[in-house]
Amino acid sequence: MGKYKLEDRVLGSIVRNKGINNGSKTFLLFKDKEISYGDTEKITNQIANGLLSFGVSRGDKVCIMLKNSPEYIFICFALAKIGAIEVPINNAYVGNWLKHVLNFSDAKIAVIDEDFIDRINLIQEDLLLLEKVIIYSYGSIYGKQSDVTKLKQFRYEELLHSSSDYPKSNVSYFDPIAIIFTPGTTGLSKGAVLTHTHAYLWAYMHVKYMGLRSDDVLYTCLPFFHVLSQFLAVYGGLLVNGTVAIGEKFSASSFWEEVKKYNATYTSMVGAMAHILYNQPIREDDSNNPLRIVYALPAPKGIQEKFENRFSLKFIEAYGSSECNAVTFQPLDALRIGSCGKATDEYEVRIVDDYDNELPINMVGEFVVRGKEPFSITLGYYKMPEETLKVFRNFWFHTGDYGYMDEDGYYYFVDRKKDSIRRRGENISSYEIEKVISSHPKVEESAAVAVPSELGEDEVKICVVLKKGEKVTPDELILFCEGKMPYFAIPRYVEFLKNLPKTPTEKILKRELREARIRATTWDREKSGYKLKR
């Protein structure tokens, strides 16, 4: 796969080129649907021309709140063809969270799944700029009646009545393609503005460093509002002339069934997904699946080799963020478990202290990143100049993540700065605590958070989900920690939960766990009289 020239890194023209050259080859698989490259080009032209007739033009923001489906991809490709800016909305958003994205993005039009339209109805009086909603109904032309009265309503099918000719547009590689809202650490979500070049590099680098081929089937069940699914799997599959199989959502019970159904050779996972799959009952045919390679952010710590052997595949770990890209990758020919890989050819990566001085090898500091090519990193946070200046301090993008580099150039992620815990003068990685706790044979998963200490700074609280049918007492869990982590990192508080709060992409919502603090159900090591050995 050759690398496109800078001026050719425009998604709409790439879709057109692939449609012409690949014709009848299958591009998308979804349930019982097979959609060719040629049909994708035709349909996205119709939608693009339909959007133009609805008044959408270059630079306009269009919010998308849809479930995984080919239509989600068609909308995104169509917007790219006319230079409009996609604003994907997390499907879990409701109330003020939803209102914030719709208002702050300045979108005048949104494409909404009919199952989410009731959420729009509840906040429609507070929507400042939104004028039109295009309602999509899977499996039904007309769908159910909407109660939204303030906004003009259209059906998705109306877009398909337009011309299938390539739309007239003037889109450049430096134009914004999307605004990706990322959770704020202290306030509302921030919208990272990504360019066409940035999106292209997400896909190009993924194909390059994952070793993807034109005969690969890329399966993704992560939501399309996430860059992992949309820009890596779908756009990457497009670049390499592969086939993309779409799963509606992650389900441990149906994951392997869908992988086999589509004969998928690639998939992507977040760490929690791998742990959930590994904890399913062992089957004799676990290794009898077509997956060759799995992209992981992060790879499942403590069980990676066991998972790979059981399911006969390889994990490739990387490090990155929506704002910068995946800037490190595990080398295919020199994997090092526990590392998130080496810096890519396309980006500079450093580890720095609080004053941006580069640190020596094996010293923990903050990841900072800089692109080597124009427009290969976020343009900044939409309408947040102060936040943008803050993260681009000294001309490097500051990720807010702690890590270090070893003597061989391999990088290691340690923790989020906001998730680190400072207890009695010691900086503690929540990640390292979770790694030990989750290795307990009766633990399904865990999350360590800081809670206020009566002595100032923090105390460590661990929230634990046990495997089905298992029982463990808090003191048994603490005893398990002794000898496996420094005494100062051993949790003071233990709380057992039925499940951990998570985003639709299976990331743990630590903010909710921190806000819960200490409750009546929380076990306190010090009050129990348990004495640590030192």
Q: Do domains 197-416 and 420-528 have the same CATH topology?
A: no
Q: What's the pLDDT score for residue 141?
A: 47
3-state secondary structure of 290: coil
Q: How many whole angstroms separate alpha carbon 61 and alpha carbon 481?
A: 50
- List the CATH code of the domain at 197-416: 3.40.50.12780
Neighbours of 72 (CB within 10 A): 24
Contact (CB, 8 A) for 298 and 326 = no
User: Class of 6-172 per CATH?
Assistant: alpha beta
Domain boundaries, given as residue ranges, for the chain: 6-172, 197-416, 420-528
pLDDT tens digit sequence for 312-351: 999 999 999 999 999 999 999 999 999 999 999 999 999 9
3-state secondary structure of 448: strand
Alpha helices in 226-356 (DSSP H): 227, 235-239, 255-262, 271-278, 304-311
- List the CATH code of the domain at 420-528: 3.30.300.30
Q: What's the pLDDT score for residue 417?
A: 77
Contact (CB, 8 A) for 61 and 179 = yes
Pairing of strands 421-423, 426-428: antiparallel
Contact (CB, 8 A) for 204 and 249 = no
Q: Alpha carbon 209 to chain centroid distance?
A: 18
Reference 365, options 303, 409, 427, 319; nearest CA is 427
Q: What is the pLDDT along the chain (534 residues), one digit of tens a residue?
A: 789 999 999 999 999 999 999 999 999 999 999 999 999 999 999 999 999 999 999 999 999 999 999 999 999 999 999 999 999 998 878 787 789 999 999 999 999 999 999 989 999 999 999 999 999 997 554 556 677 778 999 999 999 999 999 998 899 999 999 999 886 544 567 899 999 999 999 999 999 999 999 999 999 999 999 888 999 999 999 999 999 999 999 999 999 999 999 999 999 987 678 888 998 999 999 999 999 999 988 888 788 999 999 999 999 999 999 999 999 999 999 999 999 999 999 999 999 999 999 999 999 999 999 999 999 999 999 999 999 999 999 999 999 998 999 999 999 998 777 777 877 656 677 877 888 899 999 999 999 999 988 766 789 999 999 999 999 999 999 999 988 877 788 999 999 999 999 865 567 888 889 888 899 999 999 999 998 876
Strand partners, 220: 246
